[in-house]
């Protein structure tokens, strides 16, 4: 097999079809190893500052070769050593021979790998937060612009009372506002694992530095260099894998919000009320040229199911860790964490694209409202008839009979309900202003006010916090 031909090998659709370049790079091998090297360099610099005999020339050589990663050399070392961290230590030692003797002093692999994983996950959460802000911004504008448009509310997917198109969008948006708060909480509370050694006791660093205060100063300084204000107070060899479970659970909550939004739009598309963007040359079906399939939302729901399904894996890993550590976490972590983030990244890009380009069909929405409005308006008609001097009980009976006849017309003849026409023709309701009592806006309650208040109190503060990162490019390539 020609390994140079990319079409011969499996390529993850998360990379080739969904996630952004930035997120793919973040979880790429180069970024991972570069983060390891940055930690090794920071560790050596702080050890030198604390009195460990490390020369300025050794530090300078590490800085000069920091980004010169020889993956082929590391691959050869790993084939021999069966240990990826040691393989990259040897590869860097070849590029920086002066510094080779002082690399990884006092450290165990988790001192480097775990801290690097936390750094990468935190940055991935920050990228996720930016996408969430863009989704919230787009849905906020849509909600505001359509706040007054009455639409048929659906409970159990059956006609219910009216709401507005904007109020429904505000409900979608609210889910993502909650998700952003959770993501920001994870970013804010994520702790650096620190330098704890083989079983978390820091014994090796005590041997190296000889002073508890220096050991604590070492990990505080490196944590600060990487932007962490908190350090895990106690660990085994690794940070608790519950951190991974919490992060993936947070991502799964976003996936649930995406799934809810995308499913609603798919259903509304079937009702011809609201559709996702559909391009002029886009093909909906290979056999049915007239089809306008909601492929963006369908793709988003599929990705959402993947992330939701990944929740159990990190939890099982956390539960399975024996005493101070076991290595059955590594192979699982290498898949579940990147895939969860790549899938979320792809689906939030999709949702941003959809939210910015939603197509509303007011005439269809109005027709659907009008078809169900007679039943909803009967109480208002009854009250108006009483105010005009009618007998409540007699008017109620007349409405009941007309409603039954209109319903039979629908079920027996397949015709539209003529309830309003029947009531308008009944002399008992001659004094009722039917145009007023059947105005859909009478039946939307505080939907407009709720939408405006939601945008003002929840969306606008997010827009201000992320104002430099809104309008992120969400154009799709496939």
Instruction: Give tens-digit pLDDT for 351-406.
Output: 999 999 999 999 999 999 988 888 888 888 888 889 989 999 999 999 899 989 98
Q: Which residues contact 62 (CB under 8 A, 6 or more apart)?
A: 37, 40, 41, 44, 92, 96, 99, 103
CATH topology of domain 109-151+161-280+290-360: Fumarase C; Chain A, domain 2 (1.20.200)
Q: How far is CA 330 from the centre of its chain?
A: 24
CATH architecture, domain defined by 17-102: Orthogonal Bundle (1.10)
What is d(CA 124, CA 128) in angstroms, rounded to the nearest whole number? 6
Across the range 321-341, mean pLDDT stands at: 94
The dotted CATH code for 364-443 is 1.10.40.30
- Asked whether the beta carbons of 438 and 373 are under 8 A apart, the reply is yes
Among 254, 468, 277, which residue's Cα sits nearest to residue 355?
277
Across the range 327-351, mean pLDDT stands at: 96
Radius of gyration of the chain (CA): 31
pLDDT at 286: 45
Residue 416 phi/psi, 5-degree rounding, is -75, 155
Mean pLDDT of all residues belonging to the chain:
93
Give the 3-state secondary structure of the chain. Answer: CCCCCHHHCCCCHHHHHHCCHHHHHHCCHHHHHHHHHHHHHHHHHHHHHCCCCCCHHHHHHHHHCCCCCCHHHHHHHHHHHCCHHHHHHHHHHHHCCCCHHHCCCCCCHHHHHHHHHHHHHHHHHHHHHHHHHHHHHHHHHHHHHCCCCEEEEEECCEEEEEEEHHHHHHHHHHHHHHHHHHHHHHHHHCCECCCCCCCCCCHHHHHHHCCHHHHHHHHHHHHHHCCCCCECCCCCCCCCCHHHHHHHHHHHHHHHHHHHHHHHHHHHHHCCCEECCCCCCCCCCCCCCCCCCCHHHHHHHHHHHHHHHHCHHHHHHHHHCCCCCCHHHHHHHHHHHHHHHHHHHHHHHHHHHHHHCCEECHHHHHHHHHHHHHHHHHHHHHHHHHHCCCCHHHHHHHHHHHHHHHHHHHHHHCCCCCHHHHHHHCHHHCCCCHHHHCCHHHHCCCHHHHHHHHHHHHHHHHHHHCCCCCCCCCCCCC
pLDDT at 62: 98
What is d(CA 259, CA 380) in angstroms, rounded to the nearest whole number? 37
pLDDT exceeding 70 applies to what percent of the chain?
96
Looking from the CA of 319 toward its CB, the CA atoms found within 13 Å total 5
Instruction: Give tens-digit pLDDT for 146-163.
Output: 999 999 999 999 888 899
Across the range 463-467, mean pLDDT stands at: 97
pLDDT(1) > 50: no
**Angle in degrees, CA 360, 350, 126, rounded to 5:** 125
Look at 432 and 202; give whichever has higher pLDDT.
Answer: 202
What is d(CA 88, CA 334) in angstroms, rounded to the nearest whole number? 17
Instruction: Give tens-digit pLDDT for 14-23.
Output: 999 999 999 9
> Cβ–Cβ contacts within 10 Å for residue 86, how many?
16
Looking from the CA of 304 toward its CB, the CA atoms found within 13 Å total 22
* pLDDT band (50, 70, 90) for residue 4: low
Domain range annotation of the chain = 17-102, 109-151+161-280+290-360, 364-443
Across the range 232-258, mean pLDDT stands at: 97
Instruction: Give tens-digit pLDDT for 63-84.
Output: 999 999 999 999 999 999 999 9
* pLDDT band (50, 70, 90) for residue 410: confident
* pLDDT band (50, 70, 90) for residue 314: very high
Parallel, antiparallel, or unpaired for β 150-155 and 158-164?
Answer: antiparallel
> Which of 133-137, 161-165, 207-211, 440-444 is predicted with the least confidence, judged by mean pLDDT?
440-444
Across the range 420-432, mean pLDDT stands at: 89
**How much is the pTM?**
0.91
- Asked whether the beta carbons of 235 and 194 are under 8 A apart, the reply is yes
pLDDT at 284: 53
Catalytic residues: 156, 285
Across the range 398-425, mean pLDDT stands at: 88
pLDDT(291) > 60: no
């Amino acid at each position: 097999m020609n390994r140079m031909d990319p079409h011969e090998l499996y390529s993850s659709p998360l990379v080739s079809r969904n996630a952004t370049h930035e997120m793919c790079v973040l979880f790429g091998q180069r970024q991972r190893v570069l983060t390891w090297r940055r930690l090794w360099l920071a560790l050596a610099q702080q050890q030198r500052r604390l009195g460990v005999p490390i020369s300025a020339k050794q530090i300078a050589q590490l800085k000069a070769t920091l980004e010169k990663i020889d993956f082929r050399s590391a691959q050869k070392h790993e084939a021999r050593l069966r240990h990826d961290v040691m393989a990259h230590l040897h590869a860097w030692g070849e590029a920086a021979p002066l510094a080779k003797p002082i690399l990884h002093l006092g450290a165990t692999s988790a001192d480097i790998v775990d801290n690097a994983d936390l750094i990468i996950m935190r940055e991935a959460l920050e990228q996720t937060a930016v996408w969430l802000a863009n989704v919230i911004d787009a849905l906020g504008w849509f909600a505001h612009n359509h706040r007054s448009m009455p639409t048929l509310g659906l409970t159990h997917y059956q006609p219910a009372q009216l709401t507005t198109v904007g109020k429904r969008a505000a409900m979608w948006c609210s889910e993502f506002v909650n998700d952003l708060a959770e993501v920001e909480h994870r970013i804010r509370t994520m702790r650096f694992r620190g330098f704890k050694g083989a079983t978390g006791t820091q014994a090796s660093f005590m041997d190296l530095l000889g002073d508890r205060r220096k050991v604590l100063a070492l990990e505080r300084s490196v944590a600060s260099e990487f932007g962490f204000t908190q350090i895990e107070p106690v660990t085994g060899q690794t940070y608790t894998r519950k951190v991974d479970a919490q992060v993936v659970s947070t991502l799964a909550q976003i996936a649930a919000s995406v799934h809810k939004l995308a499913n609603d739009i798919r259903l509304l598309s079937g009702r011809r009320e609201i559709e996702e963007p559909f391009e002029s040359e886009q093909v909906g079906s290979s056999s049915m040229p007239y089809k306008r399939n909601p492929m963006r939302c369908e793709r988003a729901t599929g990705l959402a199911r993947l992330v939701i399904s990944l929740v159990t894996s990190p939890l099982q890993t956390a539960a399975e860790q024996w005493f101070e550590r076991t290595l059955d976490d590594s192979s699982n972590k290498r898949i579940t964490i990147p895939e969860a983030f790549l899938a979320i990244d792809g689906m939030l890009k999709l949702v941003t694209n959809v939210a910015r380009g939603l197509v509303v069909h007011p005439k269809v929405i109005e027709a659907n409202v009008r078809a169900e409005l007679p039943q909803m308006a009967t109480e208002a008609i009854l009250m108006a008839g009483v105010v005009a001097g009618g007998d409540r009980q007699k008017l109620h009976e007349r409405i009941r009979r007309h409603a039954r006849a209109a319903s039979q017309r629908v079920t027996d003849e397949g015709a539209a309900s003529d309830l309003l026409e029947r009531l308008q023709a009944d002399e008992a309701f001659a004094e009722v202003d039917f145009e007023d009592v059947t105005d859909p806006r009478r039946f939307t309650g505080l939907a407009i006010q709720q939408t405006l208040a939601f945008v003002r109190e929840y969306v606008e503060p997010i827009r201000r916090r992320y104002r430099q990162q809104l309008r992120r490019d969400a154009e799709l390539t496939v």
